[in-house]
C-alpha cells in the first residue's frame, strides 16, 4: 500500500497495528517503507554476512579515500574511534 507522508502521520496508530507494508511517498516518490515488526522474520537477514559486508565496504572505502581520517573528523567522529579503525586495519 502506498501512502503520503501526511496521511502516514495521521494514520500511524492504525498502520502500526496493521499487517501491511506501507510505502511512504512524498510528491509521488518513495521516501521510505514501514514494515510492522511481526512481518519481519529472522531468515530475512543473515546478520553475520551483513556485518562482514559492512566491514569489507568500510575497509574498501578507507583504501580508496586517502583523506578518510579528515573526512571522518569533519563528521564529528572522535579521534579515538578513528584510531580504533586504524588498529583494525593493522590487525588484518
DSSP secondary structure letter of residue 77: -
What predicted TM-score, i.e. pTM, was given to this entire model? 0.45
Q: Does the pLDDT of residue 82 top 70, yes or no?
A: yes
Helices (H), 1-92: 5-10, 12-16, 47-64, 68-74, 79-91
Closest Cα partner for 5 from 36, 26, 22, 29? 26
**pLDDT digit string, tens, across residues 26-74:** 999 999 999 887 765 656 677 888 889 988 998 899 899 999 999 999 9
Can you give the residue ranges of every domain in the chain?
2-41, 45-91
Amino acid at each position: 500500500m502506498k501512502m503520503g507522508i501526511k496521511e502516514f502521520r495521521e494514520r500511524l496508530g492504525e498502520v502500526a497495528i496493521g499487517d501491511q507494508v506501507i510505502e511512504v511517498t512524498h510528491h509521488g516518490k518513495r521516501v521510505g517503507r514501514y514494515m510492522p515488526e511481526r512481518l519481519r522474520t529472522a531468515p530475512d537477514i543473515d546478520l553475520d554476512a551483513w556485518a562482514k559486508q559492512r566491514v569489507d565496504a568500510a575497509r574498501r572505502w578507507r583504501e580508496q579515500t586517502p583523506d578518510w581520517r579528515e573526512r571522518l573528523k569533519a563528521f564529528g567522529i572522535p579521534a579515538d574511534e578513528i584510531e580504533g579503525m586504524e588498529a583494525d586495519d593493522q590487525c588484518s
